[in-house]
Amino acid sequence: MKISIIAGTRPEVVKLAPVHAAFAAKPGMTAEWVATGQHGSLAEQAEAVFGITPDRKLQPDWNRKDLWSLTGALIDDLGAHYAQSRPDAVLVQGDTATAFSGAMAAFLANIPVGHVEAGLRSGDLAHPFPEEGFRKLIAPIGQMHFAPTRQAARNLKQDGVKDALIRLTGNTVIDAVQQVAALDRKPAVLDRVNDGERIILVTLHRRENWDEGVAGVCTAIRTLRNENPDVRIILPIHLNPRVRGPIEAALGNEGRIELIEPLAYPEFVAVMKRAYLILSDSGGVQEEAPSFGVPVLVLRDKTERQEAIRAGVAKLVGADAARILAAARPLLKSSRAHARMARRSNPFGDGKASERIVEAIALLLASQGQVNSPGASILPMMRTASA
């Protein structure tokens, strides 16, 4: 039985790598890794960390300005690959152009689609854009919906997905972060952290934070640095020039503000483990940081990961400087306030999501007799998510 795993961004690589490994340990299952190149060297860096050599690399022009022509080209390329490779199922992750294109091309080729991290919803098609649209569009054409949380499973059912097609698995990022944390890497930037300094880790890349959002975050960062002599800010700058240019202009050559190149995943996890506080608009960071007891201030107005907010380990603050400062100052001034958020309780999984996903797919394909047809789905035989 052959599964095509489609990955293009670094988060997709991180979250699908444990699934790839679980397939390798499952007799009778073969997983091919198809790289779309969406994040280029960042994704390749993550593949190297997990020992993944792509079976196929696509070459779409990711520098296109228009998302529609890029998506169309990617669907075309993936459709041609499926016709040649003839997988029994296709697995996509999350809400990227890669995930949507991989799912749509499989649907048009009459191949069952499995969706890892299915069911995340912000409730607003504009936030985040285009991710909210992509994940909602995958839902009607998917046949295997691997929900990371009970809330995600409820969201799928509210969208009309049958309960029998949903499997509650946990989030595969917890599988990955547990594996990588054990490597205990130490990036060079940590050598510049003095004894007694508290690290604020910042990541920023979302489209909705371009321009005014970046400016607001930079103002807040500089203010927190000025107010707290024992704070050092570490900010790996995203490669997108709409983010990189303004950050470098605003914060370049500032003391105790480390503007560094994007870190390899193990090194990023090492910094995350050492952080006192994280400011981020990343979805993955909201899921990973609770494993290390690090509070997260989410630089967005809406999040599809409400579980972290409800658990009290993350807080929505947006990208306005005043709101960021109002939330960050108490955490830096009061150890009690920090301790309330710094609880080692991760609502996103137990590190066994990948095994559950592989078992579910193996059951489906074995029941179907290895036919490339979504018409004969036996998913009602799977254990499903209770909400």
Question: What is the pTM for the complete model shown?
Answer: 0.81
Q: Which helix (H) or strand (E) holds 375?
A: none
Q: Which of 12, 47, 88, 95 is catalytic?
A: 95
How far apart are alpha carbons 13 and 147 in whole angstroms? 18
Does the active-site annotation cover 127?
A: no
Does the active-site annotation cover 145?
A: no
Q: Which of 127, 150, 222, 238 is catalytic?
A: 238
Q: Which residues of 85-121 are buried (b: 16+ CB within 10 A; e: fewer)?
A: eebbbbbbbbbbbbbbbbbbbbbebebbbbbbbbbbb
- Of 130-139, 203-212, 307-316, 376-385, give the lowest mean pLDDT range: 376-385
Q: Which helix (H) or strand (E) holds 104?
A: helix 97-108
Q: Each residue of 94-137: pLDDT tens digit?
A: 999 999 999 999 999 999 999 999 999 999 999 889 999 999 99
Query: Confidence band (pLDDT; 50, 70, 90) for 379?
Result: very low
Q: Is 290 helix (H, G, I), strand (E, B) or coil?
A: helix
Contact 178, 291 (CB under 8 A): yes
Does the active-site annotation cover 117?
A: yes
Query: Confidence band (pLDDT; 50, 70, 90) for 376?
Result: very low
How far apart are alpha carbons 224 and 219 in whole angstroms? 9
How far apart are alpha carbons 113 and 121 in whole angstroms? 19
H runs (alpha helix) in 199-240: 212-227
Helical pair 353-368 and 10-24, crossing angle rounded to 10 deg: 60
In this prediction, residue 369 carries a pLDDT of 61
Token pair for residue 294? 């690090």
Options 3.90.1300.10, 3.40.50.150, 3.40.50.2000, 3.30.930.10; which CATH number does 2-171+349-381 get?
A: 3.40.50.2000
Q: Is 338 helix (H, G, I), strand (E, B) or coil?
A: helix
Q: Which of 12, 47, 88, 131 is catalytic?
A: 131
Per domain, the residue ranges of the chain are 2-171+349-381, 186-341
Does the active-site annotation cover 338?
A: no
Q: Which of 47, 117, 132, 258 is catalytic?
A: 117
Do 2-171+349-381 and 186-341 share a fold? yes
Task: Give the domain 186-341 fold.
Answer: Rossmann fold (3.40.50)
Beta bridge partners, 32, equal 4
Give the list of residues 6+ apart from residue 339 with CB closer than 8 angstroms, or none. none
In this prediction, residue 374 carries a pLDDT of 37
Q: Which of 205, 232, 300, 356 is catalytic?
A: 205
Terminal-to-terminal C-alpha distance of the chain: 31
Q: Each residue of 26-36: pLDDT tens digit?
A: 999 999 999 99
